[in-house]
Amino acid sequence: MGVVLLLSAALLSGCLGGAGGSHAVNDEQRIHSVLNAYEAAMKAKDAKRLADLVILPVYVGGEYLNREQLIAYLEFGFLLITEVQEFRVTDRSVRINGNEAIVEGVIRSRATIFGEVVEDVQEVVFELKKVGGAWKFVSL
């Protein structure tokens, strides 16, 4: 039984070339960085930064949008929001399979919309893909 635990630890640490090596850890860290950038862009209502985080063209509202169309779409939506006090992706669970990843989590948000503070908690699932070495959202 001790040998099984030792082999498992070696595989997970990457010593024997297992999937849990430093490459996977770096990818997970990069995905968390993308999620952090998403949080910051939403809080700042920064449509251009959000557009940088997705694979384009992106499917939104029944059609594919290029970068300029996506920015216009997001900026229009942000007009309704006076201020974003909080926007966090919490309880993150990241599963990586090669150049694709699934992130499950909870979005906790608080924003002022038409002068009224609105709070929301919502479970989410994001799909990300690695494109040119960078992790990006498949959709928002």
- CA distances to 39, 52, 121 from 58, rounded to whole Å, are 19, 11, 25
Domain spans of the chain? 30-137
The three state secondary structure string of 1-68 is CHHHHHHHHHHHHCCCCCCCCHHHHHHHHHHHHHHHHHHHHHHHCCHHHHHHCECCCEEECCEEECHH
Please write the tens of the pLDDT for every residue from 33-89.
Answer: 999 999 999 999 999 999 999 999 999 989 999 999 999 999 999 999 999 999 999
What is the CATH architecture assignment of 30-137? Roll (3.10)
Confidence at residue 129, expressed as pLDDT on a 0 to 100 scale: 98
Please write the tens of the pLDDT for every residue from 80-102.
Answer: 999 999 999 999 999 999 999 99
